[in-house]
Amino acid sequence: MKKENNNYVNELNSEGIALAKQGKYDEAIECYNRALEIKPKYEAAWGNKGIALANQDKFDEAIRCYDKVIEINPKEEKAWGNKGFTLAIQDKFDEAIECYNKVIEIKPEYTGAWGNKAIALTNIGKLNEAIKCYDKVIEINPKDEKAWNNKGFILGQQGNFIQAIECYNEVIKMYPRDEDAWGNKGIALANQDKFDEAIECYNKALEINAKMKNIWNNKGIVLIEQGKLDEAIKCYDKALEIYPMDKNVWYNKALILEDQEKFDEAVECYDKVIEIDPEDENAVNNREIILQGKED
């Protein structure tokens, strides 16, 4: 290829990248296609076209682009990684893991591939294997807070709350303002019925980021366990301020209002649940029971 043509395809690729950054994926794809007409084995353009297509949820087309890169250069770990990520989005976790294994084979110290493999393994219930992957990430980069947090979360799912808390403490030691670690530690403590300590952790997380609706919800659940119903409602109201479409929070609030015999307010909350999800049988049934009770 002449130098002029090579420069031109590089310019087209760069223009495509710039357009994609602006969310103009169709125009970006046009640039990549023009580059590929001139240079059919231009792997960067195939890879970038794949990313643009994936951003449009055109996953099968994106995978074909990544396959084209791999056909040109089987050692291109980014294409294997992107293909794996796209397969995982489609819940094709076994195929995704095969791709991440290829990345690891090419670049064994690439923590991103180990982490993505762990997520895929978690999604198919292979929790011990996922933990081994996170351990590998931590071995390569002991300061990887996501790996510590995710390992802790899996340990918590397995009921290993003490070990989970050790993971969260590692994160907090390195990054004292990591709200996820404080929130996750709170969950692990709550699961051990250490409610006061759990609330301390939730408060710390909310001090760092007051917009964490799940933490407000979790704090509300713990306050219910302590019999502090009015405080729990305040937490649910905070969560709903942040995201009014969370049916679980509306449902939890309704249950408290029922316990307090504030039936009209409880019905209003169940109405909200049903508005969000008309198929929610629990909300429909609970609402009906309250209304029948009022008639009687």
Domains belonging to the chain, first-starting first, are: 230-296 (1.25.40.10)
* Whether 50 contacts 36, CB under 8 Å: no
pLDDT at 7: 87
**pLDDT of 3 above 60:** no
Tell me the Ramachandran region of residue 206: left when phi exceeds 0, alpha when psi lies from -120 to 50, beta otherwise: alpha
pLDDT at 240: 97
Taking only the tens place, the pLDDT of each residue in 12-49 is 999 999 999 999 999 999 999 999 999 999 999 999 99
**pLDDT of 2 above 80:** no
Count the residues in the chain.
296
Taking only the tens place, the pLDDT of each residue in 213-242 is 999 999 999 999 999 999 999 999 999 999
Whole-prediction pTM? 0.86
What is the distance between the alpha carbons of residues 213 and 195, in angstroms, rounded to a whole number? 19
In the structure encoding, which two tokens stand for residue 45, read together? 């353009």
**C-alpha angle 246-187-92 in degrees, rounded to nearest 5:** 65
* Whether 69 contacts 93, CB under 8 Å: no
**pLDDT of 160 above 90:** yes
pLDDT at 120: 98
